[in-house]
Structure formats: C-alpha cells, structure tokens
C-alpha cells in the first residue's frame, strides 16, 4: 500500500492504495462514487472519463497511486456548474440518453468540448465524441443536446441577460 493525498470533488482525502488499483476502481469502491463507469478497461469505450487537474482522462488507464497531489473531478462533482447545468437540461430535453451507462462520461467530454470551444458544429462535436461509445442512441440526440448546450452556455444563464 502507498499513501496518497488528493482532492476529489473539492474534498481533500488522504488514503492508502495498492499500486495496481486504477483511479476508476478507487473512485467506485472505497469512495463510492459510482457515476464513473467501467466498460472496456483498456481506454477504448470512454465510459470512465473524468477530470484530473481539469483535463479529461481515462480513469481506467490512470493509477490511483499516480494521482497523489492531483485534483480529481467526477460527474458527482459538478454541482451547479453552468455549462454542466446546460448540458443536463439539454440531454433531458433532447433525449440524449437511453440506458445511461455512457452518460456521465458523455457529459464530462461534452463539458470539455464546450470549455475548449470545440463544439461549434455537428462535425466538431462528432469528432470530439469519437472516444465515447454509446450503444443505444446512435448519437444523434447526444450530438443535438451538446450543440444546444453549447449555444446556451455561450449565452450565459438567463438571469444574466
């Protein structure tokens, strides 16, 4: 076991972890943050995508022990973040999910695309989503939801207008 200290969704945590424990398994089991999903466990499906130090990463291809000193943000950690709020509403309105397995990572990837200004067209959104696999929707409604959220996020919250 190795001692690590990290911040998860704003809370500082000190823990001991075995070297082989992935960040995904660490979040899901001892931390009980089960919104992070594991599909393929080799970096292809994208279901485990979370933010480490503000950037999306595959938590199945990241060791918990290597995150000592890092800031981790999972789908549970977005609270009233305005872009995530716009995304949640747009996914709801546009029916951007069916079974929901891919949804947390879809939201996190979409959040990053909007943050980096890479959600300006359908083509750009589809390219940005290539690393997140959905087996239900055929992507059409997910892409539409992200496009809608990108427009809403650019306008800002209604009370700011």
Binding site for another protein (CB under 8 A): 2, 18-20, 22, 25, 41-43, 46, 49, 55-58, 60-63, 65-66, 68, 109, 112, 127-128, 130-132
Question: From the CB of 48, what's the least distance to another protein, in Å?
Answer: 9
Residues with Cβ within 8 Å of 151's Cβ and at least 6 positions away in sequence, in order, are: none
Residue (117 or 156) nearer to another protein, CB: 117
20 and 65 Cβ atoms separated by less than 8 Å:
no
Q: In what order do the strands lie in the sheet with 2-8?
A: 11-17, 2-8, 71-73, 49-52, 55-58
Question: In the complex with another protein, which residue's Cβ is closer, 71 or 89?
Answer: 71
Classify burial at 117, counting beta carbons within 10 Å of its beta carbon; exposed 0-12, middle 13-18, buried 19 or more: exposed
CB of 122 to another protein, least distance (A): 14
Measured from the CB atom, is 92 or 116 closer to another protein?
Answer: 116
Q: In angstroms, give the least distance from the CB of 111 to another protein.
A: 12
> Is the CB of residue 107 less than 8 Å from the CB of residue 48?
no
- Whether 6 and 77 have beta carbons less than 8 Å apart is answered as no
Give the residue with the Cβ less far from another protein, 95 or 113.
113
Q: Least distance to another protein from the beta carbon of 60, Å?
A: 7
């Amino acid at each position: 076991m190795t001692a690590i200290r990290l911040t998860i969704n704003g809370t500082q945590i000190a823990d001991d972890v075995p070297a082989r424990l992935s960040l995904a398994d660490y979040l899901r089991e001892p931390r009980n943050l089960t919104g992070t999903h594991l599909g393929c466990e080799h970096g292809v499906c994208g279901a485990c995508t979370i933010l480490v130090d503000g950037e999306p990463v595959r938590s199945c291809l990241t060791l918990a022990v290597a995150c000592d000193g890092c800031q981790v943000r999972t789908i549970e950690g977005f609270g009233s973040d305005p872009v995530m709020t716009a995304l949640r509403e747009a996914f709801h309105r546009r029916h951007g999910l069916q079974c929901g397995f891919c949804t947390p990572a879809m939201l996190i990837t979409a959040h990053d695309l909007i943050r980096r200004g890479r959600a300006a067209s359908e083509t750009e959104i589809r390219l940005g989503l290539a690393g997140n696999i959905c087996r239900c929707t055929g992507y059409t409604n997910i892409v539409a939801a992200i496009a809608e959220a990108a427009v809403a996020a650019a306008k800002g919250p209604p009370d700011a207008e």
